[in-house]
Amino acid sequence: MIVVLSKNVTSHDKELVRIYLRDRGFAVRDQQFGEDELIGAAGKGVVDLRELGLLPGVERVAATSKPYELASRETKAEDSIVSVGGPEGNVKIGGSRITVIAGPCAVESREQIRETAETVRESGAVLLRGGAYKPRTSPYAFQGLGLKGLEYMKEAGEACGMPIVTEVVSPELAVDMKDLTDMFQIGARNMQNFELLKKVGALGKPVLLKRGPSATIEEWLLSAEYLLAAGTKDVVLCERGIRTFETYTRNTLDISAIPVVKALSHLPVIVDPSHAVGIRAKVASAALAAIAAGADGLTVEVHPRPDDALSDGPQSLYPEQFEKLMRDIEALAPVVGKELLRTPRPKAPGTGSPSGAGGASPKIPEPGQKQLTAYNGESGAFAEQALMRVFGEEAPRIQVQSFKGIFDAVLEGSAEAGIVPVENSLAGSIHENYDLFLRYPDIAIAGEVKLRIVHCLIADARADMDSITIVRSHPQGFAQCRNFLDKHPSWTLEACTDTAGAVASIAREGAVKVAAIAGAAAAKVHGLKVLKEGIETNPLNYTRFLIIRRRNSENTGFFESAGSEKPNKASLVFSVPDKPGSLFACLKTMADRGINLSKLESRPIQGKPWEYQFYVDVTIPEREEAFAPAMEELKVHTEDFHFLGAYRGSL
């Protein structure tokens, strides 16, 4: 059992709690969990939890049935999100994001770690890994460069805007390494080095804890408990394969451990596919399997020249293999309801532009920074889920009453960004929002996110399927769940302005005979229960949301909205002259420049009957310098040309 003490608890009140517990047969111990002061109670004592919770100085009581109390989901029901890097913790692990850590097995030289850092950063990794101290099976193998190697790694990480994670192998070294690393790694061999765990935990920095090769899940979680009990609140669990009778791979990746641990513990779980299989050609498959099983991220070994690596070369990916893996993860992420985490690149020294941005940065916060973001709908709406996917669960946000209200909030500056749906994979484009871009020329597209839409039947806790007589939802919700609704012809359908609003109405009314079709997040927010999950007719149901921001006042070219992210996609709108071949000329211009069209849709021009404009999404080629001339040439062949923005898209 865990007793969480209030922030202003006195030493007298604390002692009264200890006496209360001892008198009832418990052994007590003081603990620190981040900023929270705790009293742990173990033994076969009996206590009235309500009475205990009313004692002076007690904030709450968490009774657990697990020996790993602080790591248990019984103590904390919500997923923990670990922040790494700087006072703001710009890299998050856990929640709705997939975080990728990459780098070499060992730091071999300043040049090698800098080259690797730049390579993996360009592909999308957000944390840099590498060993300065290497515990090796053979005493004659390369043992690492020590503190000098850690200094090289820190230098490379800062240059590329990546916090670093590195292994600590002894309690004596932990203090020396504290100011040079952003996150400690406890290796598989040291998972049960309890003196090391206590020392590292007491330093308060984030810790990546690898599972030992023969450790049970409970032993692994108890090792995490050592770290949490010692003082750190930020622990990430890393599955890296266990030792079995199989010898073809280096270890056996325990995929089943991912959902098991996530059910038992609130701590984030990532996977190390490199050490799990030990074979370069198999790493990507294991990595994607881990994401599909629910992992919060990966740590992957990458080396610019694996054949020359001083450590673990056979399992290290070539840069081009890592690039492909990142693209595959980006494609898989929406399927599992997550988003690949990206963070801003540092600005080039002596300039106002982020390196590689292709233009001046917008005078608005970058994605990943704390900012106020506007969305339409009630709490728990799919739009809010998309917002959290991009900016994080803790991102400050405001609700507005319409899609137009989002554009107004961004234009007026009451929100730094907005998120609007523009297309559904089943229902097609949301033309209202596409048209708003033309009415708000000072608004640009800065990014996109694709969210899988899983509909649930949601009702009051007292309701069941037999008691339902009315179902509320947005008309699109009804349309997307038609097969399910056809099985219940007696239900009356009531349309609402949004799915989460339908859920909120039931919560406000306390209605027992009314259900709503919406996402599971809305049920959680409004305290209702899910009667049936996954009721949509077609599971391949995705909505594409765009992140919008205000344009710069200065003319900064086609990449102004992209910020520090290297853009790979752009959106534009144009009309063409009423003459033969005018649209063909536009398409030929892009084809000749190697620019691929991913969307082409015509729309009537408001106020001009029988005249049309074209909404176009294009892929920006690797050679960015070819893009701007193509857009300038396109203007010659078009009328009323609008460039909506260049951004990092999910292609």
Closest of 508, 509, 510 to residue 463, by C-alpha? 510
The closest alpha carbon to 418, from 527, 542, 561, 300, belongs to 561
DSSP-derived 3-state class of residue 574 = strand
Helix (H, G, I), strand (E, B) or coil at 338: coil
Paired tokens of 319: 């840069």
Q: If you write DSSP's letter for every residue of 21-50 in order, what string do you get?
A: HHHTT-EEEEEEETTEEEEEEESS----HH
Neighbours of 625 (CB within 10 A): 8
Q: Is 492 a catalytic residue?
A: no
DSSP state of 240: -
| Residue 431 DSSP symbol | H
- 513: Cα separation from own chain's centroid: 37
In the set 299, 543, 589, 638, the catalytic residue is 543
Q: CA 61, CA 349: separation in Å to the nearest integer?
A: 51
Query: Which DSSP string corresponds to 190-232?
Result: GTT-HHHHHHHHHTT--EEEEPPTT--HHHHHHHHHHHHHHT-
Active site residue 543: yes
What's the rounded Cα separation, in Å, for the pair 584 and 582?
5
**Distance of alpha carbon 181 from its chain centroid, rounded?**
22
Residues contacting 435, CB < 8 A, separation 6+: 603, 606
Those residues whose C-beta lies under 8 Å from the C-beta of residue 222, and which sit 6 or more positions away, are 67, 68
Pick the closest to residue 523 from 378, 338, 375, 337 (CA basis).
Answer: 378
Within 10 angstroms of residue 458's Cβ, the number of other Cβ atoms is 33
Find where tokens 């056996």 sit: 252
Q: Are strands 97-103 and 91-93 parallel, antiparallel or unpaired?
A: unpaired
Name the catalytic one among 26, 33, 391, 545.
545
Taking the C-alpha atoms of residue 621 and residue 627, their distance in angstroms, rounded to an integer, is 7
Read off the tokens for 529.
Answer: 């229960």
Record the tokens describing residue 418, joined without a space: 């907005």
Copy the structure tokens of residue 137. Answer: 């099976």
Residue 626 to residues 167, 594, 615, Cα–Cα distance (Å): 44, 8, 21
Identity (one letter) of the amino acid at 386?
A: A
Q: Give the residue ranges of DSSP H helices in 392-543.
A: 403-412, 431-439, 475-480, 482-486, 499-509, 520-525
Q: What order of strands is seen across the sheet that includes strand 569-575?
A: 596-604, 612-619, 569-575, 639-647
455: tokens are 């509909």
| DSSP single-letter state for residue 252 | B
Number of C-beta neighbours around residue 555 at 10 A: 9
Euclidean distance between CA atoms 434 and 439, whole angstroms: 9
Q: Cα separation of 362 and 350, whole Å? A: 17
Question: Measured on CA atoms in the order 583, 584, 585, 587, is the torsion positive or negative?
Answer: positive
Which amino acids are annotated catalytic? 543, 545
